[in-house]
Every structure is written in C-alpha cells, then in structure tokens.
Structure 1
Amino acid sequence: MTTATEVASNMHAPMRTCVGCRAVRPQAELLRSKLFHVGTDESADKEQVLPDQSVRTCAKRHGLRASSGRSAYVCPARACMERAARRGGFARAFARKTPPVDPAALWSAHGEVLAGMIDLLNRSGGTAAAPRVQRLAALATAMRAAVGRVS
C-alpha cells in the first residue's frame, strides 16, 4: 500500500521556462508576472508588468485587468529579471510588444507579494497551508540570496 507522501513525490510537477536565462525549472520555483492594463483606456502605454498574485485578488479595486492569459516566469535571481527586461523576454512571453519593464521595481514588487502571501497564510493558521508557506519561504530565501549576484 502506498502512502500519501509516496504518491505526492511521484506526481508530475509542471515545468516552465525562465524568460531571462531560458532554464527549465518547476513552476513552483519561479516568479510569475503578467501584463495588466491600468485604467479603462486600451492604449499600450497604459500597460504594466506586475507580479500575478499581487493584482489577481484586487485587480478591480485598483482598475487593473489582465491583458491575456499569458504569464512570464522568471528565476528568483535578480540577474534573470534584468536579463529578461533587457533582452525582451517579457515581450516574448506575452507574445506582444510590452512597455519598458523596470527590473528593480518588479523585483521589489515580487518581494513584497511573497512577504504578504507568507504573512497571510501564517495568520490563517491552517495546517493545510504549511507546504505552501514552505514553498513561498524557499522562494523568498532564494530571492534574498540572489540580491548580491547582479550581472
């Protein structure tokens, strides 16, 4: 008889490609960004690349709406974020021209989103949230470790 742990370890993890370094990694180990329209105007200059989790829950309140179902995944390394912004990785992921991406602002937004999600899950106090908190904490730790390695 197999245990739940054995079943979980044999399950397939979705794989995604980093738009900065083009490395293929498990989706849970990458930062996810989306292209959002700011306001009601449809012009391209009103678009912004933001962390997906930060705006998905409160998009209507801030006048944001996702431009498509596409997402961009980036390694939790600042060098990958800068490389993706410099070499057009975000435009390639969204399959359209994107506004200039400020890697420093996007990096700090991802850090704030991770801290907020970890705090929210810890306050919920449920044991079911523990694995997700561990995954998010590992991602936040990887981001902090990568701060010094800017290319």
Structure 2
Amino acid sequence: MTTARDVMHRGCECLQINETAHAAARRMAELDVGALPVCGEGGRLVGIVTDRDIVVKCIAKGRNPAAVAAGELIEQTSVWSIDANADVDEVLHQMLEHKIRRLPVLENEKLVGIISQADLAAKLPQEKVGELVEAISATSH
C-alpha cells in the first residue's frame, strides 16, 4: 500500500499566522515553492497561503505586504489535511473532492509534509493522476 508519507514532500516549513505577507513571499522564493502551510498556536495547522493569495489579496488591493499578516490571507473555511499513514487513494479522493492542489500531511496533529499535484505526478502512475489534474485545473483554489 502506498501512503501519503510515501508521496509527500518532507521538510515542509510552517509559516506562523502573524508573519507578514512579505516574509511569506521571501520564504517561498528561498524554498522555490508556491505555497506555505500556516500554523497557529502550538504549531497547529490553520491554513495555506499561496503566492497567488499574496498577489490577489494583498498587492492587487494596494496593501503593504510588510503590514499584512499571513492569517489575513488564508481562507476562513476548514483547512483540509490527511494523516501520514492514509492510503494514496484517500489522498487522491480528498484532493479531488475538495478541488485542491496541495494537501498538508499530519502525524499526531503535527505537520510533517505536504502533497502537491507535482508530487503525485512524479510518484504515481499517470492514469491515477490524470483525473485529479483535470478536475482541479478546471476549478482550482
């Protein structure tokens, strides 16, 4: 059985909820990623901020990225995540059902990694990934 742990990107860094959009953008550039999980008290996952969030919700609105907290950029709805030991079919199901491109991976309620479409494309057979990519690309977050 292939699990979320087998396909996830390890060493995922968590942005603190009170860190600025500017700090988030700088960290994304350093890590060469387009999204960062956002954590609140006790390292608990509260959301994901993307490079698009920074552009659309901050810069395009004329807001100062050095004065906007990451917590202001995340969706106020539930953040979807998956257990590290979950079967990869459940990963695909969750991403498809919620039409999300990235899925944080938790172990004992702590962030241990993140799974992106690219991770799945690189590690799974093409037919397993095709439906997901098509569905998410049609209406993505």
Same fold by TM-score greater than 0.5: no
Q: What is the TM-score when the length of structure 2 is the normalising length? A: 0.24
Q: What is the TM-score when the length of structure 1 is the normalising length? A: 0.23
Structure with the higher fraction of residues in strand conformation? 2
Name which structure has the greater RCO, CA cutoff 8 Å, separation 6+: 2
The structure that has the greater radius of gyration is: 1
